[in-house]
Structure 1
Amino acid sequence: MNDKICVITGANSGIGKVTARELAKQGAHVVMLCRNEEKAERAKEGILRVCGHSRVDIVLADLSSTQQIRSAAERINADCSKIDVLINNAGLITSNTRTTTDDGFETTFGVNHLAPFLLTQLLLDKVLASKQGNIINVSSEAHRFASFDLSDLQYEKRKYNGLKAYCSSKLCNILFTRELSQRLPAHVVTNSLHPGAVASNFGGGVPGFFGIVMQLARPFMISEEKGAETSIYLATSEEGFTATGQYFKDKKVVSPNKEASNNYNAKRLWEISEQLLQITFLPQKKAASA
């Protein structure tokens, strides 16, 4: 990974921090995109102690704010000549009270889907500048339990449920990856993955029944190091630079559910995301005239 530049969201804790550390240890220049400055600085210090070089940077942004995403992308674009690996790792799960971001998006959908969609669009020119660009989206097997509804992605009509909103957002990650793979040029690949049920701080602040279940299940979950393995594999392996549009679990391609494999769902989600964010992102190539 020498001379590779890797941008990782949510790199101050959990599998994001492990991924950043291990890629840095392999020689990568790591850019940690984090929300909490204090946690990010602590994570950076730990990475610098073991990686053997000083090419670890922090860029601060709250992914619930499109303005902060744009500011962070502007800084990364100014500082980086290319991006070899972009890992959209950050994510959240909320309680059963529906909340919205400053932009008016339902929080889970906004942070888990719209944020990586926008960030990828803003950083794409730098990814295209890499000889071998790689975009990795961290999803989850939770997508199999989604109550997916393209007409109500933000739970404006249905009774809100934080866990269901999370599952739906993870399905969106796979659909985004699927459609992105169809629009990218051949030298850039993109894949999504399930990291496993990881014993991290994820979901720790969620109140109610789900929060209790998370705490009780924690002793049976895998370590953060184990959970980061598939992200690291996709960032460093030959398959990670050749497969595209796939969904990985335990470093192997697996089939997501039918809704996540649906081309119409992928295309329509892309269009809705463009409309909500008021952007144009990789227009589909028009078929050649006969």
Structure 2
Amino acid sequence: MSAENQATNRIAAAWLLTDMILVSAMTALVKLEGATYPAIQIVFIRSLIGLVSVLPLAWRFRKEVFGTRRAGRHAFRVACNAIALTSNFLSLTLLPLALVSAISFTRPFVVMIFAVILLGEKVRAVRWVGTAIGFLGVLVIVAPGSVSWNIGLLAAFSSVVFGSLASVQIRALKDENTAVLMVFYSVGLSVVTAIPAVLYWQPVALADWSILLAIGVLAQLGQYCYLRAYQMAPANFLAPLSYLTLVFATATGYLFFNEVPAGTTVLGVAIILLALHMTNLLSRS
């Protein structure tokens, strides 16, 4: 790998890490508000705030938005996000939150597979090994066999598959204006969540609007960082780094909600960090 590509990958990794930090902060705020308002309502408000925030971009880049020649791929990405989001909500109603979160960390492995199949990206053997070891760390946390197969598990894995497809589409749209990607995503997410949010709507207290606004802003900033990362670097390079989300989630739970991680969680995180270190170290050789 050339020095220029290495530098680009480092910048992309920084974008992705920034996204993880922003999303962790957003998750903490959602956890605070989740006891009062339905999750779908919070998601809709978040997406609506995101939509409002991209309106200036939509106007500024209106020629690019309406003149894109990749409307079909944009639509496919939005559809994948819609299915992933719907599946995720279904799994959350049928499975423990910790299990759903752990299953979501199989996404980097699925992203790498789709990147090879759909984009023709080349994946070095060391990345496959590193990702497989990271996946074993997730298995330690999940403890397979403790949960019987049901629709909830099917929905959780469906969310992973379609979410991975959406991530790969971002890489395929790497030459597209980032603002265009954000506009299509914000509009699509708002449309998808509008009807269920109305059905389960709860009146929002005036004091809570500031937190809900922060959720929307953090989500939108995170989305921008995520898009920049996947536009700059190959999906197979970024996918293993996504395991660090688990570390951020564990730290957030411990620092803000006094959630002491179980021994299996600590072991799983240690395995994931070891896999990431090994992958990055050997990839440079």
TM over 0.5: no
Q: Comparing both chains, which one has the higher relative contact order based on Cα–Cα distances under 8 Å and sequence gaps of 6 or more? A: 2
| TM-score, normalisation: structure 1 | 0.29
Higher share of residues assigned helix:
2
Higher share of residues assigned strand:
1
Larger Rg computed on CA atoms: 2
